[in-house]
Structure 1
Amino acid sequence: MRIRTPQLAAPVLAGLLAAASACGGSSSASDAGGSGSSAKLKVVATTTQVADFARNVGGDKVKVTQILKPNVDPHDYEPSPADVQAIAEADVVLENGVGLERWLDQTIKSAGFHGALVDTSKGVAVRKGNGSDEEAAGDPHIWHNPKNAEIMSRNITAAFEAKDQADKATYEANLTSYTAKLQQLDSWIAQQIGTLPADQRKLVTNHDAFGYYIDRYHLTFVGSIIPSFDTSAELSGEQLNTLVSKIKATGVKAIFSESSLPPKTAEAIGKQAGVKVEAGEDSLYGDTLGPAGSAGATYLDMERHNTTTIVTALKG
């Protein structure tokens, strides 16, 4: 269930829209669709992954405005006036779903949006949460299984076709091409993980973001430094000691931090447990893609990079 918040009052909305107009091109939402024309479908995508899928299936027929920038936490994002403006003008708004964008409902209402709101998670088998309010909808990190990325891409394609029947053939061709790349990625990851001895396929991550990847490729999840799908949660001292003990007892070879999260706690635990820590800009990409030119600039790049990092570290 997505968390719903009260609609902003009309004066607040007016202020936001006025501010957005004043900001002009300096908005926090990144326009990734080129100069565009009036014929292009105007699309707003909430997350970096969903925006990447939209670009691949939409091609030059869509103008994609991506709300979240690389390395920005999607769990507790604060929408800007430019985000409200972009949504107000959109034909289609694409969300990851599964409760990830807790901020979106109010933003949609504030914008007075009347286009198509598409939950790209529809049809995905969602992993259960731990029962807390923030995880009531389940694990939102669905993109870390390429088979789920296929489903998300199909949902996006269907939304584009519903709004733009004239370009249906183009969307279908783009989807076919991108699906083939996702299938190749899935096979490659399985082959890479298969090079690890079964007793070395154990992960300790910065936060609980890789459950779909772990399930898909038959890894063992030992624990996470942040005991939640949400990056704002924290381990207690007792939980930290328990995690260190589990790392030692299970023979885990490495702890994996994320490029978008501070590595300090991971490094402290790694030192205490006596294992290597993968941290910094070239560590795992968990909640977001990386910036242009990075090892995680696209979804395909991100998953290849994550797999190479995991396999190399676990081989020792």
Structure 2
Amino acid sequence: MKKSNIRTFGAFAMVLASFLLSGCVPESTADGTARIVVTTNILGDVTKNLVGGAAEVSTLMKPNADPHSFEISAREASELSHADLLVSNGMGLEEGLEQHLESAAASGTRRFVAGDHLEPIAYDSEAGNNTPDPHFWTDPARMLDVIDALTTELRAVDGVDQQQLERASASFREQVVQLDLRMSDSFALIPSERRALVTNHHVFGYLAERFDFRVIGAVIPGGTTLASPSAADLKDLADAIRKAQVPAIFADSSQPDRLVQALARETEVQVEVIELFTESLTEPGQGASNYLEMMATNTERITRGLG
């Protein structure tokens, strides 16, 4: 091999070794573009809409997954510490990622936790469960609080194109404002006595508070999908459904509706089981490929089921 070729190969090897030792930082950081990593696909979609093309956004949670139980690979976990900004939901939602999020924060990764920028509600204060409810996105008004706070955070991240950010964030914010108005108009068609919600687990506390619904209960107790109801839980909920004359039960698309179907049979009355998209976005064409579509689909189905 010629000496010039040997020197060239040696230089290439040194560059390659340096790249590998640096943790395989994505090319997007090499050209100065900020890299933002988001945990859930709902927040991932919101973040992408806010930044437009002002930064690179990658989302860890795949479509149709459960945020309470999804996991990431060792490679994905190691890359968290190389993000310019790590966006998460917080309030205990990403149960399977918590150790990785804490590790990234300990290494100095800049973090934005959505739950730190809104007024949370408890799952069920009357039942003694004062744990913060992480499902704030069912209320567009609270999502607007997060949008405003995240936009402010993004302005301070190096490598974010500020002009693109301002244009994109203003446009998306207005779309969420219009979503809130359309939801109000649609839910106004439901008589007050029929504004009663039953789901497979507690996800609609914020929506209920914002749009004046009553949460009768959930098949799975608590706020996580990882728990299981007892026979007594199902009986008590069935009794409540009969008493409230609930016409429909709503099952989340990311969870099997076997328990909801069993509850519908337990009530011994005619109860429709309707699928909603509450925990996760879907693939395109499945009804909830982005946040705005998810909320519009749910609004239409709740209005039809209870109206």
Whichever residue aligns with residue 36 of structure 2, its letter is: V
Q: For residues 314 and 37 of structure 1, what CA distance do their matches in structure 2 show?
A: 53
User: AA paired with 2:298?
Assistant: N
**Separation in structure 1 between the aligned mates of residue 123 and residue 271 of structure 2, nearest angstrom:** 29
SS at match of 1:205: strand
Name 1:284's counterpart in structure 2.
276
| Stretch deviating more after TM superposition (147-156 or 35-44) | 35-44
Cα pair 2:219 2:259 within 8 Å, conserved: yes
The 8 Å contact of residues 161 and 168 in structure 1, kept in 2 or not, is answered as yes
Q: Which residue of 2 aligns with 1:61?
A: 54
| Alpha-carbon distance in 1 for matches of 2:234, 2:249 | 13
- Indicate yes or no: 2:142 matched with 1:148: yes
CA distance in 2, matches of 1:109, 1:301: 32
Quote the residue 1:221 is aligned against. 215
Compute the displacement of 1:156 (Å).
2.0
CA-atom RMSD in angstroms: 2.6
Partner of 2:71: 78
Structure 1 position 105, deviation (Å): 4.2
State the partner residue of 1:46.
39
Which letter does structure 2 place at the counterpart of 1:277?
E
**Identity %, equivalent residues:** 29
Task: Provide the TM-score with structure 1 as the length reference.
Answer: 0.82
Distance 1:155 1:181, change over 3 A: same
Tell me the amino acid that sits aligned with residue 184 of structure 1.
Q
The runs of 4+ residues in structure 1 deviating greater than 6 Å are: none
For residues 87-98 of structure 1, the aligned pairs below 5 Å read 87-98=80-91
Closer/same/farther in 2, CA of residues 102 and 263 from structure 1, 3 Å limit: closer
Tell me what 1:126 maps to. Answer: 120
Paired residues, number: 282
Q: Is the 8 A contact 1:87 1:113 kept in 2?
A: no
Q: Which moved more, 1:88-97 or 1:37-46?
A: 37-46
Counterparts of 1:106-121 in structure 2 under 5 Å? 106-108=99-101, 110=103, 113-121=107-115
Aligned to 2:262: 268
Matches within 5 A, 1:165-244: 167-244=161-238
Relative distance call for 1:251 and 1:108 in structure 2 (3 A) is closer
**Matched residues in 2 for 1:41 and 1:278: separation?**
44
Letter in 1 for 2:238: V
Q: In 2, Cα distance between the equivalents of 1:116 and 1:230?
A: 27
Q: SS in structure 2 opposite 1:106?
A: helix
Match of 1:27 in 2: none
TM-score when normalising by structure 2: 0.84
| Separation in structure 2 between the aligned mates of residue 277 and residue 216 of structure 1, nearest angstrom | 24
1:3 counterpart residue number: none
Unaligned runs of 5+ in 2: 1-19
**Deviation string, structure 1 residues 269-289 (Cα, Å, up to 9, x no partner):** 11232233334xxx1112111
1:37 Cα deviation from its structure 2 partner:
7.5
In structure 1, the gaps of 5 or more residues are 1-16, 22-30
| Aligned 1:27-46 pairs, distance under 5 A | 38-46=31-39
- Equivalent-residue separation in structure 1 for 2:189 and 2:123 (angstroms): 31
Q: Given that residues 65 and 86 in structure 1 are in contact (C-alpha distance below 8 angstroms), is that contact kept between their aligned partners in structure 2?
A: no
